[in-house]
Chain A
Amino acid sequence: MNSFMVKVNRFIEVFIEQGGYNEVLTGLKNTLLIAVTGLIIGIVIGTLIATVRVLPKYKLISRILDKICTFYVALFRGTPMVVQLLVFYYVMLPLICVKMTSVSVAIAVFGLNSGAYISEIMRAGILSVDPGQMEGGRSVGMSYGATMMKIVIPQAIKNILPTLGNEFITLVKETSVVSFVGATDLYVAFNYIGSNSYEFMVPYLVMALIYIVIVCLISLGIKLMERRLRKGDRK
């Protein structure tokens, strides 16, 4: 126990006196920024893809769009996130001669990747809504798109909120791979503290605790949102 206290003291020394908390704050900021922005981009892409995939297929254009979306989903679900990050950063960007910070690359890849997963979640959500809702909207003269946006998708989101929460939590935790392209996240920050104090036990323990706290907060937020969205349901 005594040696553990020594390690804690050593951690506190590096964390506070040598400015380790700056690294941790940057890491925390990046982790949340990448996860939240990635989720938002993912929801937008996922909703678009899901809408295309549930379109009636009697028009050529919707069949073509469907094929494109199927390919996209296959591509992004078929490769690991790390590989996508590396390919994007070290292959795509040099090829098209564009400079991006590693955090923006991470945001883009997380958005594109989660878009593929969320599209399937959203598709299930849309299919879970009673087809009568679409008919009701169409019968009063609203277009397919308007009925989808105002009636079907809000109800779909309510139904998939727990699964969407899962996806968000996964994203938060997956940010620990962005160090592959040189972005500072929580892992990099605590690794830095560990290297400077020659002692990894406490930093990694604190890192794990921070992840747990973030995830608990997210779960709580989702629970509150769900309660709000369920106000239209049978009591």
Chain B
Amino acid sequence: MEERAEAELIAAAQKGDAASFEPIVKKYSPRLFATARRYARRESEVEDIVQDIWLKAFHKLPGYRGDAPFEHWLMRLAVRTCYDHLRGHQRNREATFTDLSDSEQDWLERHAVQPDTASERADAARQLVRRILEELPPAARLVITLLEIEERSVKEISQLTGWSASLVKVRAFRARAQMRKILKRLARSKYL
């Protein structure tokens, strides 16, 4: 879809023409699904989040003035919707070492004894990091995902979330500490 054609479709959708919105939904949905899958595990939840983003986008579209690329505007909306989802589905359960699967326990033990033998490519490492991210408070999870996993800059995160740059830095500092605290609890005997 060319930029000009996209601008025309957006202009039509701004006037309430839902049919013009379809090619836009088609174009950007893969990006939105990839983003939503970072914050929700179940596919039904992921689809609900992306539908919510599109509904919000359509209703807020008259407010889009075209100063920034549409994709940036949409991603801001997507990140904020994912954050709202995290806040609405906050889980307070704290896992301990015994709650981990055998492969996760094994990976942690191997990392404690000989860190080089525990590969970050292992499925157990992926499961473990997902578990830890799910235990983090919403703001901490969002900032760790954007800053450390997606490797975005503080300025970009500030634009996406609407937080000031200093707030992003403070939240990142706290999030790292919270992550270490969870790890300490999970692997207490091995790392103390």
Q: Do A and B come from one complex?
A: no
Which A residues are within 8 Å of any B CB, using their own CB? none
Which B residues are within 8 Å of any A CB, using their own CB? none
